[in-house]
Every structure is written in structure tokens, then in C-alpha cells.
Homo-oligomer: A and B are copies of this chain.
Amino acid sequence: MSLTIIGTVAFDAIETPFGKTDKIIGGAATYASLSASYFTKKINLVGVVGDDFPKETIEMFQKHGINTEGLQIKQGEKSFFWAGKYHNDMNTRDTLATELNVLANFDPIIPESYQNTEYLMLGNLTPTIQRTVVERLRKRPKLILMDTMNFWMDTAWDELMKTLKLVDVLSINDEEARQLAKEYSLVKAARKILTMGPKVLVIKKGEHGALLFNQTQVFFAPALPLEDVFDPTGAGDTFAGGFIGYLAKTGDISFENMKNAVIYGSAMASLCVEKFGTERLQNLQINEIENRIREFIDLVQFEITLS
């Protein structure tokens, strides 16, 4: 079933303890679309780039089954650019540069062929732009997933609250959940966030895995213990893309199936961080993903029989 993904398509410059890159392809929608492309080939991308963005990358998107009709190319303008440096623990980073460029005046266009999309992922952007996309779809999708970040909680609280009311699933990290709910306990935070609009909440905890909550149930997926995390950039977007890609593939949005989606999302994220940027996501084999899923099963499976 068709999946529309909106978010940044951009350049990143990344420095980790393992090395540094010049400008490479990045952005939330880039990671999410590539990740989802291993589950469905009906992906609609909504975003904006400048004329500095490589044609080959757009062709690479298309080869992955990603429709780029909704990716605006602004002549004479530059793509969004972010530069960051990760600390030794790989969990914290400093932003070295943020150049909004084309993003400053981004007005998302929904091509006619994107109407009737059944799954929608609102990648991290201003909550106002995210809401605009929902409003521009004539038919409400079967499932809307939203990603956001602490920056919008600090600067656009009221807009964020309005957009939250429109979504089914919210995907944020543990610190963002605490800030959004003003609760330290993640269980209490989840309960509070589930009164703000979303019916399902995913809390991403990086190397500590991910939690999935609805009103009455909770599910936990670990992160795979990796020898080295090479570059964590895009891991959260890759997770979300794999999560909603799996839901779109199976067409089943029950909580039980969302558990599987969390495992697939975690597997995709664990693959993504093994190389810089999107390198790993561009060239995955299905059996690599399946082997990763088997590792997750082995990691958490136990047999206790209670009387």
C-alpha cells in the first residue's frame, strides 16, 4: 500500500571518533524512504532541495521505488545543510552548522498521484509544515506517523500540540518524551502523551532499544549490541521508515503487528549505523535484513513455562 514520506532531504557533514565526511547525502526523509524501500516500492517523497543536489541521488531514490514527483528542486538555491560532531560515547553530539537554505520557505506540494496515500510519515520538520501536509491530503490516510524533536517543544509548543492531535503514532526519543510530558518516568510520560492525540507512542532509546505503548499495552525491543557504532546519524529516521514501511507492506496496523514493525525498524537502524551516512541503506540485501531479524529473535527469546 502506498506510503508518503515528508521530511528533509539534505547534505550532512559528519565527524565521529571513526572518521569524518565531506558533504554527504542526508536528511530525515532520505533515511526514512530508503529504509522503507526494503518493504514497499510505492513510496512518495515530499521535500525540497536546491539545484546543488545530485541528479544521481534522485535517480538512486527512483531505483529504490521512491517516487520523487513531490521533491521540489529550487533553481539557484542551496539544499539544507547540517554539520555535526559526535562525542566518544556516540550518544551526544554538537551541531557545528545548520544552514536552512531552501528549507526556510518550504511549502510542501502534494502531487495528484500522492492523493489517496494510505500511510503517511511526517518526518521531523516544523509542526506547521507537518500539519499542512495532512490538510492537503483530501482523504485522511489509514495511519499517520509523526516524528518530532525537542527544538519544536522549545520554540513551537502550540503548533506542535495542534499537529499532535492529528496523528496516530508519535515517534520520539526518551529525553523528548520526558520534555513533552514533563514527567521523568517514561511510563507516566507515555500515559500523558497518549492523551495529546497519538494512540500509539514509540520511545526510541538509542543503544538501549525502543518502547512501544498504547493505552493498555507495552512492548520493548532491544537494540542489537554492536561491536562499533560507526555513525548514528539517521538511525531514528531509519527506524521510523522501517517501522511504517513494514506496516504498509503488511497492511496490518494492530498493536501485535506494530511489535513486529518495531523489530524491523530496529533491525534497519542497526544496519544503518554500521557505515557513514546512507551508504549501508543504499545497498542492502534482503537476506542481510532477515539475518538481522534472526539475531533479534535469538537475542530476546527465552522459554519459561509457568504453571
Interface residues of A (CB under 8 A from B): 88-89, 184-188, 205, 208-209, 211, 217-222, 225-228, 256, 259-260, 262-264, 290, 293-294, 297-304, 306-307
Contacts and interface: CB of A to CB of B under 8 A. Distances in A.
25 contacts: A88-B184, A185-B226, A186-B225, A187-B225, A187-B226, A187-B227, A208-B208, A208-B209, A217-B298, A219-B298, A219-B299, A219-B300, A220-B225, A220-B300, A221-B300, A222-B222, A259-B302, A259-B303, A260-B302, A262-B302, A263-B304, A290-B307, A293-B304, A294-B306, A300-B300
Contacts of A256: 302-303
A211 B225 contact: yes
B227 A188 contact: yes
Secondary structure call for the A interface? mixed
A237 B13 CA distance: 45
Nearest to A191: B227
A142 to B, nearest CB: 22
B219 A302 contact: yes
Contact of A184 (B89, B208, B293, B299): B89
B225 A222 contact: no
A225 B88 CA distance: 28
A306 B208 CA distance: 25
Nearest to A306: B290
Contacts of A225: 186-187, 211, 218, 220
A260 B218 contact: no
Contacts of A88: 184
Given A306-B290, A306-B294, A218 B299 contact: yes
A227 B185 contact: yes
A228 B225 CA distance: 27
